[in-house]
Structure 1
C-alpha cells in the first residue's frame, strides 16, 4: 500500500499550502525520515519571500529514521527508529572540496547552480521531499546525518545546526580560547550560538552587541553566558570594548548582523592589533569611502565564514546532549505544520520583533 504524508509546500511568495504527498519507495541506499521538529532560519525566510518554484522549505531538521535501505543503514550506522539530526548539505562526495572536508562548499550543494540542498530544492526534483516542513523527508544517498540521544528536548535539538555554526566559527576557525576577548555583532540565533560556543571554548570575555530593538535578546545573551552587552543604538562599540578590556581590545570579532556595512567597520575598529575579524552575514551592498589602512595598520586577519563542518555539528550534538545549558529558553515559538506560514512570518519579525528560535513540529 502506498504511504502518504502531509507537507507545507511554498507555492508562491509568502504562501504555503498543505498538500498530501506520496512517500517514495526506499532503495537499498536511501531512506525516509519521520520529521520531529524543524528550526526556522533566515535562509528559509529569504526563500519564502522570493519563491521561484514550488518547494518544501526547512533545513534545521530533527527526526527519526522511518524506513532505510540496507546499504544506507550500514553507511550511516543507523537503524529504523533512531533519532538523528540532518545537515542541509547533499554533497557529491567526490570533488576536491568534499575530499578535503569542505563539502559545504561543494557545487552540488548550491541550489543556485543546479545543486540540491535540503530546504532549497524544488518539488520538481523527484522524489520531491527535500524539505523539513513536512511529516516525512527523503534521505538522499549522499545525505549527512548525525545520531542524537533521545533525552534531548526537541526544541533544543532544533538548535543543533545554529550551534554548529557557532562552534565552527568560534572554535575551529576563530580559535577562541582561554584569556581571549570575543566580540559578537548581532544577538540573533547565530550570534547567541557564537556566544555559547565562545564561552564553551574558554573565552574569558564575551561581548555581544545589539540595538534598541534587541533589548530582550541582549538580556537573554547574559543568561546564556555572555559577560557584557553593548547597545550600539546609544553606545560606541569601540569605546565600550576599550573600557571593558582596559585598552586590550578584542582578539576575535564576528559580524552576524544584517545591518549594512557599519557593523563591519566597527568590527575592524574593535579588533586588537593582530586580531581576527570574521564576516558571517551577507550585506548585498558595497562599501563607500572605506579606509583600508585600518587592515594594514592593525595587520588584521579578515575571513568570510559560511556554514559548518561534520566536526562542528558533532561538537554541537555533544554540547546539547550534556544538558548543562539552559538552551530551551532560546525557543520562543513552536508551531504546527498548518501554521507554517505563521512560523515563517514570525521568524521574519512580522509577528514578534523579539522572536528567537522559531520551530515547526509537523506532528502536533
Structure 2
C-alpha cells in the first residue's frame, strides 16, 4: 500500500534509464479537468521506442498513454462525470481551433498535445489530471483493464474505417493484415465485426499468429527468412480461396511488409498504412499506379473512442484476450523488459 499523497510514476530520464520515482501531486484541478486515480495502463510500442531511443527533450518524461482510472475530483465546469466514475483516457489533446479540429479530423491537428511527449503528461502514475472532455465514462460491465485498451482499439477502429473494409464488395471484404501485433490483431477483430468475410494475417512470430487464429483469423501465414514477396502473395491468394485481398492493412511498418501489401492486393484494391516504421522505405509505386491500387495513411484516431467502447461493452471485441502479462507499477522496469523481449502480446501495469 502507498500513502494517499504518494504519486509514484514511471519516469524515463534517458535511453534505457526508467525509474519509478515519487512525483509531486498534480496541481489543483482546473474548471474543465478531472483528477484521476490511475488504475490500469498498457505498454505500447511507442513507449518501447522511447525507452530504447530516449526522450525527445531535455526533461525526464512520465511514460504511458493507454490508460483508465477513477475520478477523484471534478472541475467546476464538469457535468458528465462525478467522483467515483471510472473512465478511459483519450490522451491526444487537439487545439479545438484549427481547420482540422473544426472539421472533425482532430488527429491531424498540428498543435495537438500528445501526453507521452510532454514531461509530466504521461499517465503511468498514481494520480493524473486530464481534460474531462477526453475522459470516457465506462459502463459497469467494462473493467479498468478493458478501459485501458480503448486507446489502441480506437486506433484499430479508425484504421478499419479508413480501409473501408466493405467498400464496393457485395458479400464483404477479403482482408489481408500484415503484422499480428496488438494493433494488427485488434484491427482483425474490428474488421470482422464490421463485415470482413475472409481475413488472412501474417507475422514473423508463430505465437502471435496462433493467438490471431484463436481470435478469429480465417488463415495465418508465418513469414520466414528467404521467402519472396511473390511467393508470399501467392500463398495469400491460396488462403483467401483463390482470390487476392481487395483490402490490405499493413500494421507492421516494415519495408518488406509494405511491399508485400502492395504485391498481394488485387488491382483496384486498397492498402492502408497503419504501422509506423522508417521515415523512408522503398516500395513498388509504379506497380501500384498501373494497377490502381490506392495507398493511404492512417494516423491515430478521431471520434473513435465511443465506438471502441461500444465494441467492448457489447462483447463483440474481447480485448482482454490479448493481455499476456500483468505487473504492478513498482515493477515497471520488469514490465517494460518483458514487453520488449517479444515474449508478450500485451503488458498491462496496475497503478492502484
CA contact (8 A) 1:60 1:158 kept: yes
Aligned to 2:223: 232
**2:252 corresponds to:** 257
Q: In 2, Cα distance between the equivalents of 1:319 and 1:263?
A: 28
- Answering whether residue 101 of structure 2 is matched by residue 98 of structure 1, we say yes
- Mapped contact 1:155–1:328 kept (Cα < 8 A): yes
Name the counterpart of 1:274: 268
Structure 1 contact 133–340 (Cα < 8 Å) conserved: no
* C-alpha separation in 2, matches of 1:108 and 1:215: 40
- Residue 175 of structure 2 corresponds to residue 176 of structure 1: no
Residue 209 (1) aligns with residue 220 (2): no
2:83 to 64, 80, 84: 80
Question: Hey, what does 2:71 align to over in structure 1?
Answer: 65
The alpha-carbon distance between structure 1 residues 267 and 342, as it changes in their structure 2 partners (threshold 3 A), is same
Decide which of 319, 335, 344 is 1:343's aligned counterpart. Answer: 335
What is the SS of the residue equivalent to 1:131?
Answer: coil
The RMSD of aligned alpha carbons is 1.9
Is 1:362 aligned to 2:351, yes or no?
yes
Equivalent residue, structure 2, for 1:120: 117
1:69–1:107 CA distance, 2 compared to 1 (3 A): same
2:240 to 225, 241, 245: 245
* Alignment pair present for 1:188 and 2:177: no
**Cα separation, 2, equivalents of 1:282 and 1:157:** 24
Q: Deviations over 1:180-203 (max 9, x none)?
A: 101000000100011001100111
What is the Cα deviation at residue 321 of structure 1? Answer: 0.9
Whole-angstrom distance in 1 between the partners of 2:241 and 2:23: 61
SS of equivalent to 1:62: strand
Go from structure 1 to structure 2 and tell me whether the alpha carbon gap of 1:16 and 1:302 turns closer, same or farther (over 3 Å shift).
Answer: same
Runs of 4+ residues deviating >6 angstroms: none
Q: Is the 2:73–2:83 Cα contact (8 Å) retained in structure 1?
A: yes
So what's the TM-score if we normalise by structure 1? 0.87
The match for 1:222 is 213
Q: 2 CA distance for matches of 1:34 and 1:263? A: 40
Q: Which runs of no fewer than 5 residues in structure 2 stay unpaired?
A: none
> Is this contact kept in 2: 1:276–1:301, CA < 8 A?
yes
Tell me how far apart the structure 1 counterparts of residues 319 and 275 of structure 2 sit (CA, whole Å): 23
Q: Distance in 2 between the 1:134 and 1:342 partners?
A: 16
Distance 2:222 2:344 in 1: 18
Distance 1:156 1:101 in 2: 26
Gaps of 5+ in 1: 110-115, 124-129
Q: 1:241 to 1:11 in 2, by over 3 A?
A: same
Q: Which moved more, 1:201-210 or 1:52-61?
A: 52-61
Gap change, CA 1:293 and 1:23, over 3 Å in 2: closer
The 2-side partners of 1:210 and 1:220 are apart by 11
Q: Counterpart in 2 of 1:126?
A: none
Q: 1:41 aligns with which of 44, 58, 62?
A: 44
